[in-house]
Chains A and B, each alone.
Chain A
Amino acid sequence: MNRYLKFYSAIFKISFNNFLAFRLDAFLNTIFSSGIWAFFNVFSMYLVTLRVNSAFGWKTGELLLISCIYNIIIGVFSTFFARGFSQFSDLIDRGKFDLFLLRPIDSQFYVSLHTASINSMVRTLLGTVLAAWIITIYKIPVTLTGIALFIVGALFAIFLLYSLLFMLNTLVIWAPKLDNINELFYTLRSLGRYPRETFRQLGEFGFVMISPFVLIMSTPAKLLLGKASLYDFGELILLTFAMFVLSRLFWKFALRFYTSASS
């Protein structure tokens, strides 16, 4: 465990130095694009809810708050995990993944965390500022217990998000040309900005399939607002553990089919 922590802290330091090496690019490009998306996610929800007072039992302010929470969670998630997967299909397609398998470290750990996206922290920061603003403007009651529960819920949500992304990326071992699979994931995860009840219209099967993506945002939001039941929290925790174990097993299974550069 200690070895892994040391290894990751080295990776984080390298990523941070890389970020600072191209300061102008970092500020003009990466921070700007992270910031603009963070703002836009909240603004687009503002547009959608402009002509309605509530939707599926959620008030306008609460829906906007979910969009802010989306930015907070996605910001943390992207800082640690997203960039590691951005070139996964290329690693598999060109056989560069051999290097990941040959190192004396767990391949899932290494492929998931081999680089960090420092600029994504901006998204978390902006999401937090916007959340505080929305809470003040709409006078949404938030307690310290709610914030503490939200942090715990958000951590589980991030691990659930990771497990889903990891499973989806594992498919690339069979189809290395699917370099846009992460884009699909990013679109699917944005479903979390909408109330879970929206997707009941898709029928039982559609609702169950979409649920993990929706739980990622709605359960932490409910925890923050003091609306979550024990069932909601338990559902998130159980699903996170189940998906993480499943992603691990799926990875081990898929590795048998990796055939290096000829795959």
Chain B
Amino acid sequence: MKRFLRIFSLYFQHVFQHRARNFLWFLIAFINPLVLLLFWQGVLSADQTLHGWNINSIRTYYLLLIIAQAGLMNHVELYVAYIDIKQGELIRELLRPFPYLLIRSISESPWRILQMSYALITVTLLAVFLKIPIELSNVPIIITLSLLVALNAFAISFMFKMILGLTAFWMTNIDSILETNDVLIFALSGLIIPINLFPTWMFYIAKATPFPYILYYPITAFIGLYNTSELLHIILIQFGWILGFTVIYKVMWKQGLRKFSGIGQ
């Protein structure tokens, strides 16, 4: 345990050394929800309701989206694909007495922690500055289960992005895969609007993918849109995605290592 804490601390120092760069990444992710918040604030009147969303709940949604995006949405695939596989840095990781998955999860965590702290400060300032009353559930069991939904969301995002990164074993150029993934995440995870405001056909497509389980469900869980049994159902589906991705990851890792040639991938 002490060894892992030491490794975490080293990665944290590395991330903290690049805190300005990290802050820019946070700003990049922060602008989109902010603009949408301003847009809806201007469009929805105080007494208007859209599919269960009123002006306060939708503002809370976008504020929580800023935090969720910073804390739950991983970007580990870039490091795995471009640095580890393409540049051959994976050799160094293979020689270490730790599982690769564990090392990458430890290396990604400081980024999320630092970005989440930026997000928490910014959201607090925004809520005060724009006078937004944040509406969250205050039922202990709902809060506890929502935390579990958020933890699972991080795991889904991490495993999915690891798989995405591993595709670099087989492909010379994975730019278009990553671009397509960005578009899918944008469209289906709830980054644009809550997915229950989608057209019906698109809502069902989104629900069949892992993306809303990374952002939409954790956010709406904290807002208190679900009762205990609905939350348990969401958690069960999340476990299913984590399990599925773990199996795919293991197969890809095993097959991919056979393709790995050190450098010049």
Residues of A within 8 A of B (CB): 25, 28-30, 32-33, 36-37, 40, 43-44, 47-48, 50-52, 55-56, 175, 177-181, 183-184, 187-188, 190-191, 194, 197-199, 201-202
Contact = CB atoms under 8 A, between A and B. Distances in A.
Interface string B13-57: 000001011001101100110011011011100000011000000
B173 interface: yes
Q: Most A CB atoms within 10 A — which of B24, B27, B36, B50?
A: B24
B183 A201 contact: no
Nearest to A52: B43
Given A29-B173, A33-B175, A47-B193, A55 B32 contact: no
Contacts of B18: 177
A181 B24 CA distance: 7
11 contacts: A29-B173, A32-B179, A33-B175, A37-B179, A55-B39, A178-B20, A180-B24, A187-B27, A194-B39, A198-B38, A201-B38
The SS class assigned to the B binding surface is: helix
B192 A55 contact: no
A202 B38 contact: yes
Given A47-B193, A198-B38, A191 B31 contact: yes
Nearest to A202: B38
B39 A198 contact: yes
Given A47-B198, A201-B42, 8 more contacts: A29-B175, A47-B197, A51-B51, A52-B43, A56-B42, A183-B24, A198-B39, A201-B130
B35 A198 contact: yes
B4 interface: no
A44 B63 CA distance: 19
A190 B31 CA distance: 10
A187 B42 CA distance: 21
Contact of B197 (A30, A33, A51, A180): A51
Nearest to B129: A203
Given A33-B179, A40-B187, A191 B35 contact: yes
A51 B50 contact: yes
A187 B43 contact: no
Contacts of B172: 25
Contacts of A198: 35, 38-39, 42
Nearest to B202: A47
A184 B36 contact: no
A180 B24 CA distance: 7
B43 A179 contact: no
A178 B21 contact: yes
Contacts, number: 91
Nearest to B195: A47
Nearest to A181: B24
B38 A33 contact: no
B180 interface: yes
Contact of B176 (A28, A184, A197, A199): A28
Contacts of A36: 179-180, 183
B38 A184 contact: no
Contacts of A177: 18, 20-21
B204 to A, nearest CB: 15
A169 B25 CA distance: 16
B100 interface: no
Closest 7 CB pairs of A and B: A33-B179, A29-B176, A187-B31, A55-B43, A187-B28, A40-B183, A32-B176
B199 interface: yes
Nearest to A49: B43
Contacts of A30: 175-176
B170 interface: no
B38 A180 contact: no
B173 A183 contact: no
B183 A48 contact: no
Nearest to B177: A29
Contacts of A28: 176
B20 to A, nearest CB: 7
Contact of A37 (B36, B38, B183, B193): B183
A180 B18 CA distance: 12
A187 B32 contact: yes
B28 A180 contact: yes
A25 B27 contact: no
A178 B18 CA distance: 9
Contacts of A179: 21
Contacts of B28: 180, 183-184, 187
